[in-house]
Chain A
């Protein structure tokens, strides 16, 4: 009996496909998410929109909060640690969270390295803006990838940008000769072996979700149309006027993304979405995606 193998980690991520993972800050919100058909919840102290507004250093959530949320629902519970913060990751693993998001939404702890995720039994998901970043995270042992987008903005444009870039780079990689692949690896700062694996499969070897700015059922459907296996919704649900209804609508839209009639039906009368921010209004140093 072997625990924490790569197959057990990546296989778990496969089970999320077609689903929605929702940010929650309380047990009540977690129950609403479960009832709305979320495949997992992300246990947080503050959603990204509040982290952005309040500034300061954003850290791992209080273990007490995470435990309360784990107790409240039967679906998997994820939690975020800071980039490179091995100790926070060990704490989350000890708590028994089901997945760790080594996340740019929190303030990075290590200016040089990400966590060596092969050393853990618990699986990790990491963000990426392009193929190079995705390949480096996979080389470090990430069992799942999500495109970063720009969290807490309610603006889907960066999520689309990152998915478009990733798709385009994978498409180019497919037709490359060995020599071209090696120099492309250098250009991307990506390990050759991981690129070889991606070339052979024609896609990432792990599940890839979209994140960062998804606020409506149509946003979720759009990301699925662009090839995302599923979506993370952060502030988009519980910063909106009617979270129950919106959560359920986003779940349905994620599953039935290629059924326009159904998308029209579920998009109706959802109340106010979260307030959005234009990316140009955010000072460069406050963009989370470059962390």
Chain B
């Protein structure tokens, strides 16, 4: 199975490595031709404003929207979650809007407040979670399933074929969040 990782900016290498460890053919996506034949797409951590601009200037926004319409599963971590959310409460732009949630950018604060912890994730159990200037979910639509919370704020959610997490499973050795996503892609 081939999974694409959006590779214009961010911690692409970590996502490629995590998928590779699960025996998946993971391909970096820098231009539209790289999306051919992918059965799933991952948005990495990074800066959402930078990734969005690069996607726009690289002609990738429409091909990714087309992929979404075709029903290809999409997973976003941190900045990836911001890019996939329908609404951003503290930022004037809206990006892809594939999942009916409102997120607050940098909700966990500046870098000195970034942290690691353990989370209880539905259907998985306890997973290590690294939060870096992390976005939190402030509103969820009726079709959205909350998969994990931290101090009362939803930090992982799924709607249909779109999965999002505020934290970075790619920075840990625990691959169960990827396994959950790969099940959606199968």
Q: Interface-forming stretch among B4-12, B18-26, B63-71? A: B4-12
Scan residues 158-186 of chain A and give those whose CB is less than 8 A from a CB of chain B.
Answer: none
A1 to B110, CA, bound (A): 16
Q: Does A102 contact B (CB under 8 A)?
A: no
Do B112 and A3 touch across chains, with their CB atoms under 8 A apart? yes
- The 8 A CB mask of A23-59 against B (1 = contact, 0 = none) is 0000000000010111110000000000000000000
Type the 1/0 row for B47-60, where 1 means its CB is closer than 8 Å to any CB of A: 10110011001100
Which residues of chain B have C-beta atoms less than 8 A from A17's C-beta? 9-13, 46
A122, CB-defined interface residue at 8 Å: yes
Complex Cα distance A265/B171, Å? 35
Q: Mark B87-123, 1 if CB is under 8 A from A, else 0.
A: 0001100000000000001100011111111000000
Complex CA distance for A16 and B132, rounded to whole angstroms? 12
**Complex interface: stretch among A93-101, A133-141, A191-199, A237-245:** A93-101
**B53: contacting residue among A1, A37, A121, A123, CB under 8 A:** A37
- A12 on interface, CB distance cutoff 8 Å: yes
- Count A interface residues, CB 8 Å: 38
**Chain A window 103-137, contacts with chain B (Cβ cutoff 8 Å), 1 for yes, 0 for no:** 00000000000000000011100000000000000
Quick one: which of A12, A74, A256 contacts B132, CB cutoff 8 A? A12
Choose one: A11, A15, A123; the contact of B79 (CB below 8 Å): A15
**From DSSP, what is the main secondary structure of chain A's interface residues?**
loop
Question: Which A residues between 8 and 24 are near B, CB-CB below 8 angstroms?
Answer: 8, 11-12, 14-19
B130 within 8 A of A: yes
The complex places the Cα of A66 from the Cα of B8 at a distance, in Å, of: 29
Q: Do residues A15 and B11 form an inter-chain contact, with CB atoms below 8 A?
A: yes
**Which residues 30-84 of B have a CB within 8 angstroms of A?**
30-31, 45-47, 49-50, 53-54, 57-58, 78-79
A222 within 8 A of B: no
Residues of A close to B113: CB separation below 8 A? 3
- In the assembled complex, B14 has its CB within 8 A of some CB on chain A: yes
Q: Does A69 contact B (CB under 8 A)?
A: no
Residues of B within 8 A of A37 (CB): 9, 49-50, 53-54, 57
Closest A residue to B57 by beta carbon equals: A252
Which A residues touch B111, using CB under 8 A?
A: 12, 76, 98-99, 122-123
A192 to B35, CA, bound (A): 44
| Shortest Cβ-Cβ A-B pairs, 10 listed | A98-B111, A37-B53, A14-B11, A18-B9, A39-B47, A37-B50, A11-B171, A96-B110, A1-B117, A3-B115
Residues of chain B touching chain A, judged by Cβ–Cβ distance below 8 Å, are: 7-14, 30-31, 45-47, 49-50, 53-54, 57-58, 78-79, 90-91, 105-106, 110-117, 130, 132-133, 168, 171
- Residues in chain A within 8 A of chain B (CB atoms): 1-5, 7-8, 11-12, 14-19, 34, 36-40, 74-76, 93, 96-99, 121-123, 248, 251-252, 255-256, 259
